[in-house]
Amino acid sequence: MDLEETSPPRFSYGGCDVLDGKLRILFVEKNLGTNIDYCCQEETLFKALNAAPSDRSLSFSARTGIRSDYDPKIAEIQHSIAELLGKDDEEVTLSPNFEDSFAKLSALAVDKKKSSLREDWQVYLGLFTLKYFEGLAYQMKHLKVGEDEMVQEGFLEAVGKNEITFRIVEKLKYDSYCEVVIEDGVLYLQCKPETWGTNIDYAAGKLIDQL
């Protein structure tokens, strides 16, 4: 525990930060003992852990979101897509591209005047990426990829590498918010930094046009 010495104080009464690898519980001068329960509330604690020096490419909040929202559910979506294609699960690759997405969204977040990102965007990195893949699986079912041999054959021919990647790009080719494109045998679900998380379910809406 220590005194908050930043001027002006970062907290009204108390808070926390990480210094030299240690979590410090801080109190503002003359407010020792006030609102103790809020010093390490989730929002304050996550902010401190995100700001802590680290050699990792993802923040604490992003890693937490991926562990809780993406990791437990992505295998089921991978299985659904593989089954529609008549493939074993391990034959289909889903690439979330987390590090690249985090870097591009972080760059957008720096300019708060232009950024439409929600304050807690980092913790949603895993969930939103999962939703893009989930939306693709839904569209594939809608197109009857698993039932119509011609559609399935067209998909497998176009996406010859059996790889599906999410990515953030500066410009879109066919839509305003998000889209699906196929390049060199890889299917890309993509959006712009400014439209990340918008209309997720429709990212693969024009899949048939790419086959």
User: 182-210 pLDDT, tens per residue?
Assistant: 999 999 999 999 999 999 999 999 999 98
Alpha-helical runs (H) found in the chain: 42-51, 60-65, 74-84, 98-110, 125-142, 149-158, 207-210
Q: Report which of residues 101 and 19 the model is more confident about.
A: 101
Does residue 123 sit in the same domain as residue 184?
yes
Same domain as 174, residue 82:
yes
- Beta pairing class for 2-3 and 22-27: parallel
Q: Please report the pLDDT score of residue 112 as a whole number.
A: 61
Q: pLDDT tens across 13-40, in order?
A: 678 788 777 887 767 777 687 777 777 7
pLDDT at 8: 84
Q: What angle do CA 199, 202, 204 make, to 5 degrees?
A: 135
Element (H, E) at 94: strand 93-95
d(CA 66, CA 127): 7
Same domain, 125 and 187: yes
Same domain, 73 and 132: yes
Q: Domain check: are 205 and 108 in the same one?
A: yes
CA distances from 148 to 77, 80, 139, 161 (A): 20, 16, 14, 20
My answer on whether 156 and 66 are in the same domain is yes
Query: Per mean pLDDT, which range of 2-6, 83-87, 158-162 is the poorest?
Result: 2-6
The confidence band for 42, taking pLDDT boundaries of 50, 70 and 90, is confident
For CA atoms 28, 31, 35, 36, the dihedral sign is positive
